[in-house]
Chains A and B, each alone.
Chain A
Amino acid sequence: MFGVMERNLHIHYPDAPPMHLHRDELPNEPVRYMNKKIMSKDNWLSFVDRLISDDRREVVGVQSKGEKFVFDPLDNAKDLKLDHDVTILPPKKYLLPTCEELMRFSLSDGFEMESCSKAVPRIIIGMHPYDLIAIQQMDQVYLGKNPDENYKNRRENTLIIASDILTVSDRSFAASMGTCTVSDGFDLLVTDLGDAVVVEEGSPAGTELLSKYTSAQDAGEGDVAKVTQLRQKKQVEYKVAVDVDKKEWAGLLEQNYEHTVWKERSEKCLECGSCTLVCPTCFCYDVEDTASIGLKDGVRTRTWDGCLLRDFTLIGSGEVFRESKEDRYRHRYYRKGKYLPERYGFVACVGCGRCATQCLPDIADPADIFNTLHGSNMRGEPKILAIPKVEEPDMAEPLLTPRPATIKRVEKMAAETFFEIELDDGQPLGHVPGQFVEVSVFGYGEAPISISSPPGGNTFELVVRTVGDVTSKLSTLKSGDKIGIRGPLGNGFDVEGLKGKNLLFIAGGLGIVPMRSLINHVLNKREDFGEVTILYGAKHPKEFLFEDEIFRWHERKDIVHKFTVDQCTGDVCWEGNIGVITTLIPKVQFDPKDTTAVVIGPPIMYKFVIRDLKGLGMPDENILMSLERRMKCGVGKCGHCQINGIYVCKEGPVFNYAEIKGYPEAL
């Protein structure tokens, strides 16, 4: 059997290459196996039949479906097509299935869950070069520093028998993208020459497969020349070309954020998501908990999602962060041509043309968009949209598996609920102020919640407002109940960098929850910091949180603090300031040039607070803020929390205003 054939050899686990470096410039080319074999067509077919009958792995290959093609399990080598133009779905469906179980859990017992990482060992036959390159891109995303267990498991159990393109798809522009031929990443690469088949070995696993199930001669120079000729011939058969080199796509996009093409095309968009679903380089996903009908157990599933769908950025409170059709439409192109290239070094389009083929209004073709931009004189204010460099932390636990935790204390606050939580393994959470955790309530799902307690101690604290299913259920839990925790996630505040600085805290509403973590840290180590001023506003006097702690601030002579309410109605007595948070700013003394402001509050608050701080002469880089988005995976994979190209869950949620002010989707 093939037990020894572990396939780590040519799966790269790369760190992100330097900015703007493209795949074909990557250093350290992997070991290349250049053996080429030749076999008759009959021998090829019997080789495939032997794979089907004798190999332990499932064999899938390209087959006809009406006039189209799909990858499907093969029963017979005769069903295999090597002259297909393109398959409806790319082979990503075998590595990131349309729907997969991530874990099963019990709903009756406290915390009983089991991760599911099923990988059917599989041989995929007929994969075109562009799809292979797309899989190499997926490898970079999913097998980076903290690999996705399920993806990794599948990837390591997959052998790829690629095939040269014999029929060029009508809408493909792979020749322009340099993706119509490939020199590595496969286990075997077949070229169907009609009467004979040339097979190139790309890995020891591929070599072993050949030697085990067939005997093929070395290909002669003439055979190899025929392969080269075929590739050259096909290269000029493309009907679609992109006039601008893919390395220039990012620059073109930087110049054209406001181009009219986005609005014009998006008006025709059905918002059906087809372009992203059929794309081999779109791999955003959603996660959902479902209970079985008897409510005894349930399953957490991962499904494909897409940024063209409106609810992609919807959060529990009902807010949709990428609200306009135009913004959603634009985002897809920027992700492909700008954001992923900058992050990973590859242009996330391989020119397969599937999106163009599937889009009913025919507005999804990247070739059309980039040619339009290239040929247009319209240029706007350049938007560079650089991604802040953040060192990815080592995750202790598997990426998608929550750690069991126990609720130690519950307190009802104004409209919120306070929780003190302990991890069942007894370890401290190890967070810094400003980070968040993903809280699992099995059957209800996962929600990102800011950590409210300062670092240190064996427990940590969360404050939850009831907005969606997870938080609704959470607010009914009692001391002793079990939940799941992933994290700490996100960057948090640079606490070391704040040492010695004068600090002005400005919190609005629930913004006090994450800010409390930093305030209490600063108050615990008061001597490490300069002047401390705290401004805190709530809608109504009843809505102030942490009253006991606030009361203790009154006793401290080493801080200045002021409160305000938007309005004061009913029977609550309030002698303090009435007015929005910005009305407090003129009431405190601080040197704008020598003070760092930490601002956290509802989206609308940022605009006005920043305006006023800047009005007083505060430099942009002195303003820190924490932003909220739909943080779903928490590890920069699922795509939901993006502000343009930034993952809020990874490069945020804490941002320096100077760093993020140029991002149209930020504020």
Chain B
Amino acid sequence: MKPRVAFFDFASCEGCQLQVVNLEESILDLISVVDVVSFREAMKEHSDEYDVAFIEGSITRPIDEERLKKIRGNAKLLVALGACACIGGVQGMSNEWSPEENKKEVYGDLPGYEHTGDDNPFFEKPIHKAVNEVVKVDAYIPGCPIDRNEFAKIATAVLMGKTPKLPNYPVCVECKKNENICVFELGEFCLGPVTRAGCNAICPQYKSGCEGCRGFLDDPQTNAHKEVLEKYDVSVEEMLKRYNMFNFRKEGY
């Protein structure tokens, strides 16, 4: 029997699932080796019988945690899909404030605000967690959005029983192989030296500094990186802003 695969979304833009749909002709190859039993963005049918669950999005409320745990219970393997699922995503920045402060900022005293209290499960204590802060994750496909080639690579590794291995070297490696001009030389600043490669250095390729959407390396050289940022006159505020964008307080900056 072909492995059954299901896709689920939590707090996210669903753009990573869209990347999967965008595999175009190779999605036909994929469904020749798996049965997709649930994929809200691409099909109507749904089943709770699956072997591999792909999770997009960060985990926000108690009801989300319950739902995720149920999925984990059903699935033999669970794959975090995209930056929100892998590291919490940009919404992780809101963790700087309490759920109450956030709700006040968003809803204020506009009509209907009285329904946004913690007694409403849809608005109960929203904070943003990566999937592995709630359940065990077997494989990660990082990035905002994910890279389609990497999706194919990790998905095939999972299906073949191989270690779903991500590069453990920084974006600089791919940047150099692509012969990009270092964005530091263009006056930009870049998280590439501390960020996990695998995106083919797509942002520096277009002269834009890396935002760190793929998360930090296992052993990021943050002290050396900080020295470089100081050398290039990057202010502490600017540094923190960029570090916190996808990796809110991940490295104690």
Q: Chain A interface (Cβ within 8 Å of chain B)?
A: 65-68, 70, 88-89, 93, 98-99, 267-274, 277-278, 290-296, 303-304, 306, 309-311, 358, 360-361, 443-444, 468-469, 472-473
Contact = CB atoms under 8 A, between A and B. Distances in A.
Interface core residue of B182, B192, B225 (most chain A CB under 10 Å): B182
B227 A290 contact: no
Interface residues of B, number: 39
In the complex, the 6 A-B pairs of residues with the closest C-beta atoms, listed nearest first? A294-B29, A272-B172, A277-B176, A98-B177, A270-B193, A293-B152
Nearest to B169: A309
Main secondary structure of the interface of A (DSSP, over half): loop
Contact of A66 (B161, B181, B223): B181
B160 A273 contact: no
Contact of A290 (B153, B181, B184): B153
Contact of B161 (A273, A303, A473): A473
A479 to B, nearest CB: 21
B219 A358 contact: no
Nearest to B32: A294
Interface in B115-138: none
Contact of B177 (A270, A277, A469): A277
A361 B156 CA distance: 38
A68 B181 contact: yes
Interface string B214-241: 0000010101110110010000000000
Given A277-B173, A295-B33, A304-B177, 16 more contacts: A88-B181, A270-B193, A271-B219, A273-B176, A278-B176, A290-B153, A293-B26, A293-B33, A294-B30, A294-B33, A306-B173, A310-B168, A360-B182, A360-B193, A361-B227, A473-B161
B225 A270 contact: yes
Contacts of B57: none
B203 interface: no
B159 interface: yes
Interface in B28-59: 29-30, 32-33
10 contacts: A66-B181, A271-B219, A271-B221, A273-B176, A274-B176, A296-B29, A304-B177, A360-B231, A473-B161, A473-B162
B105 interface: no
B109 interface: no
Interface in B172-206: 172-173, 176-177, 179-182, 184, 186, 192-194
A89 B176 contact: yes
A65 B170 contact: no
Interface string B17-35: 0000001001001101100
Interface core residue of B179, B180, B192, B194 (most chain A CB under 10 Å): B179
A310 B217 CA distance: 11
B60 to A, nearest CB: 31
Contact of B193 (A272, A306, A473): A272
Interface core residue of B170, B184, B194, B231 (most chain A CB under 10 Å): B170
Contact of B156 (A89, A99, A292, A306): A292
Contacts of A310: 168-169, 219
B163 A469 contact: yes
Contacts of A89: 176, 179
Given A68-B181, A272-B173, A309-B173, A295 B224 contact: no
Given A309-B169, A311-B168, A468-B163, A270 B179 contact: no
Contacts of B29: 292-294, 296
A301 to B, nearest CB: 11
B173 A273 contact: yes
Nearest to B193: A270
B177 A99 contact: yes
B202 to A, nearest CB: 16
A98 B176 CA distance: 10
Contact of B184 (A268, A360, A443): A360
B171 to A, nearest CB: 8
Nearest to B178: A98
